[in-house]
Amino acid sequence: MASLIIHNANLLSFHEGFSEGADAIAVEGDLIKAIGKWDDLKSLAQSGTQLIDVGGKTLMPGFNDSHIHIWKVGNLKTLMLDVRTAGSLDEMLSIIRDYHQQNPQVNWITARGFNEAGWKENRMPDKNDLDRITKDKPIYLIRTCAHIAVTNTRAMELSNITTDTTVPSGGMMYKGADGKPNGIFSETALGLISKHIPAYTKEELKIMVKAARQQLFGLGITAATDPAVDPLLLQTYYEMHEANELGLRLNAIPILLPDGGEKPYDLPGSYSSDWFNVNTVKFFSDGGLSGKTAALKRTYKNTADKGVLRLQKQQYLQLGRAALEKGLGLATHAIGDQAIEFVISCYIELSESFPEIIKRIEHLGLPEERDLETMAKYGIATSMQTIFISELGKNFRQYLDQQYLDHCYPVRSVLKHGILTALSSDAPVVSNLNPLKGAEAAVTRKDNEGYAIAPYEAISIPEALKAYTVNAAAIAGTKKIGALQAGQFADFILLNADPLKAEPEKLTSVKVEKTFISGKCVYEA
């Protein structure tokens, strides 16, 4: 018998074999028991069955964000200052100054979210700007991409930064006209500062995760992958899982190489359950396009910069092989064409001994045609972010030559090659983590200023929604989620309109009315 039956619904699912025309879904416990016509399923109802008539509204699987830094999303809602709304350098400095004055108890001022490409000043802040706020308290300001940070003089003093400081491989410590550090650090060099900032406690991390979770539920996100989990956060997730506090289905990908650290973290063990999974480890091969740190074969427009290749090949192969021997898959951040080629070459070498284990590339911003052919041949999957086109398109147009721009985040080409592809947000790199906004960007290819970027790389609405559901579950190696199908978990969302009938430019006008996980409503608008 069913504990819940939802009927008079427009059911959508994007798995092969889904039969259209069904209008009812029956749930028993935390699983979908049956899908079909209401006339056929109403016999499953009993005295305690909850019956919900949704009046013809659309029911589909919950969204699965395959690459989102959950605790960082929550951090900007709790303990870290969010400066993403700043429209200019002066406005950002004013926000930080107000925070400094209103929070005298804070030992380090940490903030995140600036994007200089959208400012009238159109330049990166440096220590001199932050020194105007305070020279007595350290400031650590993270760019929206999280691959660049700016500090004031006090932060560098506490971190023992001098002109002669040794910069770790794969990082940059920038200097001013006087030859001294100007407070700007990128990639692995971030660790020179961040390791001196007092670490969050597990209790603080739990607060952040719970704060983010409520936002995810409101956007219909019922499952997610956190793709950069350090040992303390991994312990926190395990504790929350054991206490039944996660609330959503979570796939954690631990990192092995800390920024600025010479010694890798210990390899984690694999873990599998209905709510929490650890089956993959993470590496960073380069930075981001929006901050000109992704590793390119050609220079960024009007500069001599080619970005930063972070990994040392032998160490990467050694650690990757050790992970694969433990049954763990590999996920590697690679955006620029140079980084993508490097990662694929390493994956090919490792595939000789481990052909079946998960190998995925995070982002895949500028792959070449031969990269896609090789990925298809070796079964290399990818989690991409079309939402970057929307929020960071101005950066791309400003920093990339036309040839690069013409195949930036080429989702259509990736799918055409038969590569398993999921879509995701990478929040809080972007402020809008709504999967429907990500789908809208995938379909329209327009940035927030209305410019189309590689419009021939657009995909259809069903393809975008499949990438946020079925494909997202597949790339994580998780089962029983991602589709409306008997035997799967009853994780689904009720929408106020059919997204397949929406105009592509208005996909975000479709709203989530209810979110269900294991057949229980966890969010109602």
The per-residue pLDDT for range 269-318, each reduced to its tens digit, is 999 999 999 999 999 999 999 999 999 999 999 999 999 999 999 999 99
The mean pLDDT of 196-200, rounded to a whole number, is 95
CATH code for the structural domain at 80-194: 3.10.310.70
Q: What is the DSSP letter of 190?
A: G
Query: CATH 2.30.40.10 region(s) of the chain?
Result: 4-56
426, 386 in Cβ contact below 8 A? no
The mean pLDDT of 494-508, rounded to a whole number, is 97
Distance CA 279, CA 360 (A): 12
What does the pLDDT read at residue 120? Answer: 86
Per-residue pLDDT band at 449 (split at 50, 70, 90): very high
Query: Which residues are paired to 65 by β-bridges?
Result: 224
Distance CA 250, CA 239 (A): 13
pLDDT tens sequence across 407-423: 999 999 999 999 999 99
Antiparallel, parallel or unpaired: β 280-284 and 329-334:
parallel
Closest of 195, 189, 197, 84 to residue 429, by C-alpha: 84
Per-residue pLDDT band at 356 (split at 50, 70, 90): confident
What does the pLDDT read at residue 400? Answer: 98
What does the pLDDT read at residue 21? Answer: 84
Distance CA 32, CA 13 (A): 13
Min mean pLDDT across 30-34, 117-121, 338-342 is at 117-121
7, 23 in Cβ contact below 8 A? yes
What does the pLDDT read at residue 122? Answer: 85
**Domain 4-56, CATH 2.30.40.10 — does that match?**
yes
Regarding the domain delimited by 65-69+200-481, which CATH topology (the fold level of the hierarchy) does it fall under?
Answer: TIM Barrel (3.20.20)
What does the pLDDT read at residue 375? Answer: 97
Q: What is the DSSP letter of 45?
A: -
Q: Which two tokens stand for residue 26?
A: 């029956």
Query: CATH 3.10.310.70 region(s) of the chain?
Result: 80-194
Angle formed at CA 476 by CA 470 and CA 481, multiple of 5 degrees: 45
E-only strand ranges, 411-462: 421-423
Q: What are phi and psi of 347, to 5 degrees?
A: -60, -40
Query: CATH 3.20.20.140 region(s) of the chain?
Result: 65-69+200-481
The mean pLDDT of 205-228, rounded to a whole number, is 97
pLDDT tens sequence across 41-59: 999 999 999 999 999 999 9
The mean pLDDT of 500-513, rounded to a whole number, is 97
Distance CA 93, CA 207 (A): 27
